[in-house]
Chains A and B, each alone.
Chain A
């Protein structure tokens, strides 16, 4: 019996229809062979994205001897914890760098979020007569930059911040892009009517900001805070420009300094713990990779949890009004 094409079509539809109920936003995805292929394609790319980290972990757990004989193997000849033992012996510089990074990240993020939120809130309110001017002042810095050299000279000569912890914090405090995003967010998520009623009740603008606006703006502020935290944690550029003092070197910059040899970590350790039994042979390669693991692990372990907010934050406010 010939089935009319229309009926065949609807029969096919009926087969796929029950799928709709299970999926949230994906009623008719790829089917059959295409689906398998796409899973393989994306799955292998996703694996490729984390594979180098696994590889580096393996190297850090290889014995130095097997590294020097066979190179960086995926399955080393001999596993060993000597790299981590060694790093533990020279830990003072590493703890120091961890401390600098933590301080810069926490203090930097708090300052940055406060300054950005205040600025963005003010230019989001119609009562502010000069909001257009101040929006432009922020926006223009996205279009034209002062360049690296004048910035460097202002930082070192005008502000005198060479070898200061503030040289790691201040350059990343404000970002015009975040100001614009936050402004849009305030405009959308803080209705004027609520503020109006608070004003009638006699609340000052600052109190309104702290007690009404901030709680409403938590998603936006959390997003900016998250972006800032990541930026501060991963920053090495400002340390490259402004920091020579070993006690102010953040984690990422420490990684840079041990690229060619471990001397930078060792110097301090030798001085501080003279009676400590430094390993006879220094596991140069595996220790360096172990350092990478130590610096990356906090992010690798935590990002799957904040990823959701990160993704949400990216789509939170568009640039345009």
Chain B
């Protein structure tokens, strides 16, 4: 009773703050936490109930791990996991190398006015939606009108039906994702490099260090903490793919599914085209759980190496 009274008084004392967090709190509960609770649908045979969401969840029958058994019984689970993880790995590694390289070059260019122009150009793709980018790509890859086939024709080669040939797409997707992301990715690194004390470089110059040595011995070690924390964050989300890239760019082309289907597109198609709610939820829960474990794990590792860089 005493504690309840104290709790009541605390609430009263903090009413102004509680009032401030209220809209955000309600949003988080409705849009994030109720769907988290909704993940139990993965263990149920979902049936819509006229009384709304909670009634639907409540009245659906428990089926245990049936949905998961079905999901992992097919080859799909393997393919979407492989695609998601492999693409993301390539994106992380290549994205890191390119972003850091571009940032270093930008910072070392002697004509900073030109460097600003380059940066503006490289940032452009970031501001576009995947829908627009998919049109850009189509202008190159269209079978009868695209630039690629015109060039092939010029060299008397047979046109390629790009949207039906899965073999090329891993390269396309990697290239497009980097095209869109490098300018943006380099911003943070560039800011960090610009922030490095120039005295280090001056000292290195006096000791006769070459540009190359300065980059390896000063620039990269100085931005290492940033590299580590951003890479960790990326590894933590290695299980979630960029839906737009994998859905819009291949134009939902069936023959390309083996190399373009990722967990996110699989869940979407399961929900919207097949209407298999149980299995889609199971795939989503599988994704969320593994992602969660990965974040905890990577954060734990960073804590061991260097506590200052850990996320929490």
- Chain A interface (Cβ within 8 Å of chain B)? 9, 13, 19, 23-31, 34-35, 38-39, 41-43, 45-50, 52-53, 55-56, 59, 67-68, 70-74, 114-116, 118-119, 121-123, 125, 127-131, 134, 137-139, 141, 143-154, 157-159, 170-171, 173-174, 176, 179, 204-206, 209, 230, 233-237, 241, 252-253, 255-256, 259, 285, 288-289, 292, 295-296, 299-300, 303-304, 307, 310-311, 314-315, 319-320
CA distance A129 to B16 in the complex (A): 11
| Min distance, Cβ A321 to any Cβ of chain B, angstroms | 10
| Min distance, Cβ A188 to any Cβ of chain B, angstroms | 16
**Chain A residues within an 8 Å CB radius of B36:** 144-146, 150
CA distance A275 to B272 in the complex (A): 39
Q: Residue B30 contacts which of A70, A154, A209, A299 (CB distance < 8 angstroms)?
A: A154
Given known contacts A138-B28, A153-B277, A28 and B201 CB-to-CB distance under 8 angstroms = yes
Cβ–Cβ contact B105 & A38, under 8 A: yes
**Chain A residues within an 8 Å CB radius of B102:** 42, 45
Cβ–Cβ contact B201 & A118, under 8 A: no
Interface residues as binary, B22-43 with A (CB distance below 8 Å gives 1, 0 otherwise): 0111011011111111110100
**Chain A residues within an 8 Å CB radius of B312:** 139
Given known contacts A25-B198, A119-B20, A154 and B105 CB-to-CB distance under 8 angstroms = no
**Chain A residues within an 8 Å CB radius of B244:** 236-237
Given known contacts A49-B183, A179-B24, A295 and B132 CB-to-CB distance under 8 angstroms = yes
**Chain B residues within an 8 Å CB radius of A139:** 312
Given known contacts A150-B284, A153-B56, A174 and B31 CB-to-CB distance under 8 angstroms = yes
Cβ–Cβ contact A314 & B191, under 8 A: yes
CA distance A66 to B4 in the complex (A): 79
Count of A-B contacts judged by CB separation below 8 Å: 301
**Chain A residues within an 8 Å CB radius of B147:** 55, 71-72, 74
Cβ–Cβ contact A288 & B135, under 8 A: yes
B211 at the interface (CB under 8 A from A): yes
Cβ–Cβ contact B281 & A150, under 8 A: yes
Q: Residue B24 contacts which of A24, A70, A119, A259 (CB distance < 8 angstroms)?
A: A119
Q: Residue B205 contacts which of A13, A129, A149 (CB distance < 8 angstroms)?
A: A13
**Chain B residues within an 8 Å CB radius of A319:** 311
**Chain A residues within an 8 Å CB radius of B291:** 144-145
CA distance A129 to B9 in the complex (A): 11
**Chain B residues within an 8 Å CB radius of A170:** 27, 31
**Chain B residues within an 8 Å CB radius of A159:** 30
**Chain A residues within an 8 Å CB radius of B149:** 71
CA distance A144 to B32 in the complex (A): 9
Given known contacts A130-B14, A137-B28, A179-B24, A147 and B284 CB-to-CB distance under 8 angstroms = yes
Cβ–Cβ contact B150 & A73, under 8 A: yes
**Chain B residues within an 8 Å CB radius of A31:** 110, 211
Cβ–Cβ contact B27 & A115, under 8 A: yes
A-contacting residues, B179-193, CB 8 Å: 179, 182-183, 187-188, 191
**Chain B residues within an 8 Å CB radius of A121:** 20
Given known contacts A71-B145, A125-B17, A147-B288, A173 and B191 CB-to-CB distance under 8 angstroms = no
Listed by A's residue number, 26 A-B pairs whose Cβ atoms lie within 8 Å are: A23-B110, A30-B109, A30-B211, A31-B211, A35-B110, A38-B108, A39-B111, A42-B102, A42-B109, A52-B137, A56-B136, A72-B150, A119-B25, A127-B17, A130-B18, A144-B292, A148-B280, A150-B281, A153-B277, A158-B30, A235-B129, A241-B272, A255-B135, A288-B135, A315-B188, A315-B191
CA distance A149 to B268 in the complex (A): 8
CA distance A72 to B143 in the complex (A): 11
CA distance A311 to B127 in the complex (A): 13
Q: Residue A24 contacts which of B54, B112, B117 (CB distance < 8 angstroms)?
A: B112
B245 at the interface (CB under 8 A from A): no
User: What 6 additional pairs, Cβ within 8 angstroms, besides A43-B118, A49-B124, A119-B25?
Assistant: A46-B120, A114-B23, A145-B35, A145-B288, A235-B129, A296-B128
Give the most central of A29, A145, A205: most B CB within 10 Å: A145
CA distance A121 to B264 in the complex (A): 34
Given known contacts A38-B109, A128-B17, A47 and B24 CB-to-CB distance under 8 angstroms = no
